[in-house]
Amino acid sequence: MTVTIYDVAREAGVSMATVSRVVNNNPNVKPQTRKKVFEAIERLGYRPNAVARGLASKKTTTVGVVIPDISNTIFSELARGIEDIANMYHYNIILCNADKKKDKEIRVINTLLEKQVDGLLFMGGAVTDEHLQAFKTSSVPIVLCATKDDNNAFASVDINHEQAAFDAVELLIQNGHRNIAMISGTLQDPANGFARYQGYKRALEAANIPLREDYVRIGNYRYESGLEVAKHFLELNERPTAIFAATDEMAIGAMHTLQDNGLRVPEDISVISVDNIRMASMVRPQLTTVAMPMYDIGAVSMRLLTKLMNKETKDASELMQVILPHELIHRNSVAHL
């Protein structure tokens, strides 16, 4: 049978109110009494009913996190940052994988809100009108991680994706490259896709390099699409001397296709990207990339959410979008022409 607070009170010889104070770490309990209650809890195997406590306090101390692809290492690093700060502020995490499918994301968001979470973190991916509609029905704070909505209606923590891409392509240009191809993400994705494409385009324009349609192909952010897209570039009459990939996974896939076809990186074709996943430093040559501070994005997002949940922010201007700095990591995959 389920052990109740009444059973603990009877076992310890105290009132249920005293047991409640001990369970909730109320300091107004004598040490001897507290010890007696804890001993009774241990003997009986009592666990406080979190649902009942949540109904009473109108807080569940639980945060919902929607992750687009749990198998992607970059999101796991972000989730680690979220969890570390959540633990620091005594919040539990419900982590839900949405497989980068909009319908599933909407369903997961609504499910988490039905579970009476105290706040919601939406991680990565495009924020569509359907997402916004689900967010607007929420009675709890929402923070967007590594993405944002077009109208900045919700708090968000991210990097400047366009500038990160610009910096990567500018490095190629500084090394003498003019035939620069891009493996882009979907242009419907405002951050990893469209913004990084815009950064690529702006860097070319700044150097008076014409944009070539045959030098731009769309991938799906993963290793396999990098493998496939790189084959297209090898079939061109005028091969690019450098490839900029929107993600490290696609860049590594491209590198392997080049190497499988007898080409050397970076001597024949240079490769650069954005993310700085662990694998970027494990491949050979090591991948030059723009580092996203994923752990920091997760940690700052969770801290911002705690401020919103606890109403620590008095001014709406404090909820402005947080842009964290990125860093160009020089390794061995870019050659000077």
Q: Give the DSSP H/E element, type plus range, for residue 44.
A: helix 31-44
pLDDT band, very low/low/confident/very high, at 192 (cuts 50, 70, 90): confident
Q: How far is CA 285 from the centre of its chain?
A: 27
Query: Whole-model pTM above 0.85?
Result: no
In 3D space, the residue among 99, 133, 155 whose CA is nearest the CA of residue 309 turns out to be 155
Phi, psi angle pair for 332, to nearest 5°? -125, 15
Residue reference for tokens 């662990």:
278
> How far is it, in rounded angstroms, from Cα 228 to Cα 22?
61
Q: Binning pLDDT at 50, 70 and 90, where does residue 271 land?
A: very high
- Reported as a single tens digit per residue, the pLDDT across 288-319 is 999 999 999 999 999 999 999 988 765 545 56
CA angle 160, 162, 168 (to 5 degrees): 105
Which letter, b or e, does each residue of 33-54 get, where b requires 16 or more Cβ atoms within 10 Å of its Cβ? bbebbeebbeeeebeeeeeeeb
Burial of 226: CB neighbours in 10 Å, binned 0-12, 13-18, 19+:
buried
* CB-based contact 250:319 (threshold 8 Å): no
Q: Which residue has the higher pLDDT, 157 or 51?
A: 157
Confidence label for 238 from pLDDT (cuts 50, 70 and 90) = very high
Cβ-contact 192, 247 below 8 angstroms? yes
Predicted confidence band of residue 71 (pLDDT cuts 50, 70, 90): confident
96-129 pLDDT, tens digit per residue, is: 998 888 899 999 999 998 888 999 999 877 888 8
